[in-house]
Amino acid sequence: MNLVKLIDERDLVKICPKCGKKYLKNDNFCGIHDAPIKLSYIKDLVKRCKACGAEYPEDYNYCIKCEWDEPLEVFSKPRPHIDEIRQLKYNPNKRYNFKKHQNNFAEFNDLLSDENINLLKEFNFTQLQFDTIIQNITNTSKMIMEEFITKYNIYMDKLYISEKILLYAKTFVKTEYKQVNTSYYGYYGYNTIYVQDIDSDPYEIITIIHELSHFLLSEILEQIISEILNTDKTDALEALVYHILHKDIFNKVVDEYCAHTVEARFENFAYQDYGSYLDLLNEFAQEYSKKHLNIAKTIGNTFAIYIKSIIESFITAELRNEIKYELRKSDLKKTNDFQYATDKKNNWNKFRQAIKIILTKNIDQIMYNPKDLEKLENARMKFSENNK
């Protein structure tokens, strides 16, 4: 009599026997070979190709995905389940203080002193300094990802694309799943991304990319202030940038347009969604003209170009195709939102001037406005709590 082996459903995975590519449970054919795929027990995948990383059951001896002619190597540890990746707790915020500065402005009176406000208004900041910030952010994320892979024995080839994007987001910022009271699928606030726990890979992927873009724009601005004022990144500094981005509708439109533009890079054409950007336009029109809107879009797109360069250091063309494959299988609806995209971008001189205005518009009035000070203090408390 044959014994029946009880297997947790999470330990079952569909793979292509020709190339070893991993698929979702409801898939039936390999998108590369158009060949039937089969359900396998993940712990039976115990051999790996040194060249391409494809994994195989015990009865395979050589890779059939690539031309590597050496025998497969044996490994024993299965990948973490998606629940384990979701529960991976790490706060990377301190890792994004790239060097020790002379100052540590932890109080708003010090941060927004007359001397510091004048330094921000002078804005002696170069493109080389900006490019260095982008590179430091990129390199730090890569370093943290390597630490994740080593510490938790993570095999990237065994992860769904949604798991890969979630893991990538965790190299920058806390990323948590919860039931959120919003019409959107998630939001970013105070160094935490919150994703609606709806168990839908395509929506999770796009939501994480969108909210990660909000974080990266804030992080870039924080690093700029840190350099100009020669100060470590403090809770007060982060609260100031958060307040600046949310106080003025022009800045909010720049931020939201940037996030949608980055998101659109990884969506299928005609499925781009600019919804939360469009939600701001009525409020924007009460204070600014259509010409100002085009300026805001150009600034947002310029930020998006740099942020895409950071994200694409991880999301390669192959991973981008995996994302688009997931989106094609989903219930996402076509939109006409691609009409809002722009290819206009600022040269460095105009972009530098734009960043200066974003950071300094009405900044000298903040310390004299009780409502602003109350909002700053509330934001600092939330950053302080999330940064623990």
Check whether residue 46 and residue 125 sit in a common domain: no
Based on the fold, state whether residues 113 and 27 are members of the same structural domain: no
59 lies in some domain: yes
The domain in which residue 181 lies consists of: 83-386
If asked whether residues 123 and 70 sit together in one domain, one would say no
Residue 308, phi then psi, degrees to nearest 5: -60, -35
Given 34, 61, 78, the domain boundary residue is 78
Query: Whole-angstrom Cα distance, residue 335 to residue 166?
Result: 26
Residues 283 and 369 in one domain: yes
Looking at the structure, do residues 53 and 121 belong to the same domain, yes or no? no
Claim to verify: residue 152 and residue 19 sit in the same structural domain: no
Average pLDDT over residues 276-293: 95
Read off the tokens for 180.
């959120």
Establish if 54 belongs to a structural domain: yes
Mean pLDDT for the stretch of residues 246-258: 96
Give domain status of residue 2, yes or no: no
Q: 56 pLDDT exceeds 80?
A: no
Is the domain of 235 the same as that of 382?
Answer: yes
Mean pLDDT of the chain: 85
pTM for the model: 0.79
The pLDDT value recorded for residue 168 is 96
Task: Please name the residues in contact with 100: beta carbons below 8 A apart, sequence gap of 6 or more.
Answer: 232
Let me know whether 183 and 40 are in one domain. no
**Residue 213 or residue 41, greater confidence:** 213
**Separation CA 321–CA 324 (nearest Å):** 5
In the chain, how many domains are there?
Answer: 2
Would 1 be classed as within a structural domain?
A: no
**CB atoms inside a 10 Å sphere around CB 76:** 7
Report the range out of 10-24, 37-51, 228-242, 259-273 with the highest average pLDDT: 228-242
